[in-house]
Structures are given as structure tokens and as C-alpha cells.
Amino acid sequence: MPASPIRYNEPVETTQQQQPAGAWMSFRELTHEVRRGAVAEWTVTIILLLFATTTLVQAFVIPSASMEDSLLIGDHVLVDKLAYAPAGPIGKTLLPYRDVKRGDIIVFRYPLDISQDYVKRAIGTPGDHIRFEGGNLILNGKPVQEPYTKHLAPYPDMYRDNFPAFSNAPLRPRAQEMLEKCVVNGELVVPTGFIFAMGDNRDDSDDSRYWGMVPRENIVGTPVVIYWSYEASTEALTNGNIGFGHIIDVITHFFTKTRWDRTFRLTRAYPLGE
């Protein structure tokens, strides 16, 4: 019996060949919609995160000992950038804008190099009269207790401890100008638009005594919480490129060098002269 010829163009054959193509097209359309939706959602999420981290809150790390014991080297803090933002006609009634107060911990652009961020405590606001006697703050004519400060230097320093007393050591030009223009009857008078800021570790702090006052527009915000604290050196934290050694150190000693008792600790202002 002769073999049946192969019918390549038979309708059944055509239908069987087209079914996979049709299923593939449906799958592509479905996954295309899913991918497009996922990409859109992630794009919006990333935009919101970038907006939040650049406009509302920003993470900073403390690289020096100038604010000990309030803030330690290796404290990673979240800074509220909205607190001191200038309030508009509508925003001032809806958002917690306020001006800098004495005793606030502030993050600001270093006046001598605005690419650097510094953290200090606001000691004097516009109109305040400031002087020190033996390391003790005299604010507007009255002695003020500062329980957060440290004085560890084994030797006295006339300028440091009795600011704005005359300094035998050369000062930076901004500090020299501050002394020449803003000292009245032995007291520094804080002018409009500036903040006098100091570190809590008074004997180991490069602050307004040495480089002048902080322009109000330089202030970025105030730290609100320590979200992680890790024992690290100033050198490791100020390295522009994260060193391989520091990464290995974190991986190896994460649990032993993390200061767990400081995790999620709130940072607080201390009212001065109120």
C-alpha cells in the first residue's frame, strides 16, 4: 500500500504551528505590562526616596570628638532638614518650622569650606551677649549651667577659657574680624543673621571661637536620632573613598563594635538661659 504523502500545507498543521506563537505573544504582552508597572513603581519609589533624603532627612556620620559625649565618633545620625527651613505663608501653619534656639545641636556648612558639614551646639543667637570665665558660660550677664560639656585639658588657656579675651596665638581672619567688630565691653554680641556655635567637648573643639560665627543660611538642620553607632577612627570616617580596611572591619566586628546602647537614641537640645 503506497505511503500517504506528507501534506505540509494542511490546515491542521498550520493551526498547531500558530498556537505556540499566539501563546508567546500573549505571554510577552502580559510580562510587558508587569515589567512596565514594576519599573514605574520603582521609579516613583526612588524619586520619593531621593526627595526625602535630600529635602526632608539626611544621614550624617560624626567624624570627630568635638561633640563628646553628646555625639561620639562613629555615631550615624539622621538630620531633620525641615526644622529650620524658611516657612512660606502656607507651610508655616502646617509644618513645624522654627528658628534656631540656644542649646540646639545644629548641622551646618563650615563657613571656611562649605563643602564640609560640621555639627556643633548653638550657644548664642542674634542679640545675645556672651563671655566665658574660667570655662564657664556667662550668657546675657548670667552664669549658665551646661551639664553636657566636657573639660579635659590638663592646662589652662586664656583665650579658650576666657573668651573673648585677647589671644596670643594667631587667629583665622574671620575670627579676628569677629573680635574686632562684635566685642563690646568684653562680651561678644551676636549680630543679626549669625549663630555662635561651640562643641560640647570644649577643650577639643574647633568652633566659633577660632573661625567666627555661623551664617544662618549655612545651617542645614538638626540631628534627631542616632540610628547606628560604630567604633571607628576619625581617619576611617573622613576618608573620601571608603577604605577596604574599614569595610572589612565593619564586616568582621559589626556586632562587637556597634554601640547597641546608642542605637535609636534621640538627640536633644538643652535650653540655655530660659
Q: Which residues are catalytic?
A: 66, 120
Beta bridge partners, 150, equal 201
The C-alpha cell of 93 is what? 501653619
The C-alpha cell of 252 is what? 568582621
Residue with cell 556620620: 61
Q: How far apart are CA 156 and CA 135, in angstroms?
A: 9
